[in-house]
Structure 1
Amino acid sequence: MKLSLKKKIILIMALTLVSAIVLIAIADYFRIQRDITNEHLKDARDIRAMLMATRRIYHHQFLDSGLPLNDKTLGFLPAHALTRISIDFPNWSESGMSFNNVSDRPRNLTQSADELELEAMDWFRANPDAHERLISFRNKQGRFSYHYSTPIYVERYCLKCHGNEQDAPSTIAKHYNTAFNYKEGDLRGLLSIKLPSEEISTILWRELVTEAVIYLFPLLIALGLLFLLLERNILRHLRNLNNASAKIANGDFSIRLPTTVEDELGHTIIAFNIMVNALGEREREQQFLHEKAEYARRQMEAVLNNTTSLIYIKDLEGRYKFINRQFEILFHISNEEIHDKTVAELFPPEQAEFMHSNDIKVIAEDKAVEVEEVIRQDDGIHTYLSIKFPLKSTTGETYAICGISTDITVRIQMERTASKQAAIWQSLMSSTTEAIFGLASDGICTFCNPAALQMLGYKNTTELVGKKLHPLVHAHHANGKEYPHTICRMQHAIKTGQVLKVEDEVLWRADGNCIPVIYRVTPIYDADKVTGAVITCEDITEHLATQRENEQRMEELEQFNRLAVGRELKMIELKKEINALLHEQGKDPRYHLH
Structure 2
Amino acid sequence: MRFINLEKKNEKLKKINQELQEQLKIYQQKNLELEKKQRILEAIIDNSTAIIYIQDIEGKYILINPHFTKTFNLEKEQVIGKTNYDFFSREIAENSSHINQIVTEANRCLTVEEILPDKNGYNSYISTKFPLYNLDGCLYAIGSISTNINYRKELQILLANINEELENRVAERTICLKQLNEQLKIEMNAKTQANEMAEKIANELSQHMRTVDSILNASVDPIYLFDTSSKYTYVNRKGAESLGMNPNDMIGKTPTELGFSQEIIQEFDEQIKKVFTTGKLVKSEGCFPTRKGEIDYEYIISPVVDREDNIEAVVSIFRDITERRHTQLELELAKEAAEAANQAKSRFLANISHELKTPLNAIIGYGDLLHEEINDLGYQDLPNDLNKIRLESQKLLKMIQEIIDISKIEANKMKLYLEDFNLSSLIKNVVKSVEPLVVKNGNILKVEGVEDIGIMYADPIKVQQIISNLLSNSAKFTHQGEINLRVSRQRDKIVICVTDNGVGMSLDQIKYLFRPFTQSDESTTRQYGGTGLGLAISQRFCQMMGGNIAVDSKVSLGSTFTVCLPTEVADSKS
TM-score with structure 1 length normalisation? 0.31
Q: Which structure has more RCO (C-alpha within 8 Å, separation ≥ 6)?
A: 2
TM-score with structure 2 length normalisation? 0.32
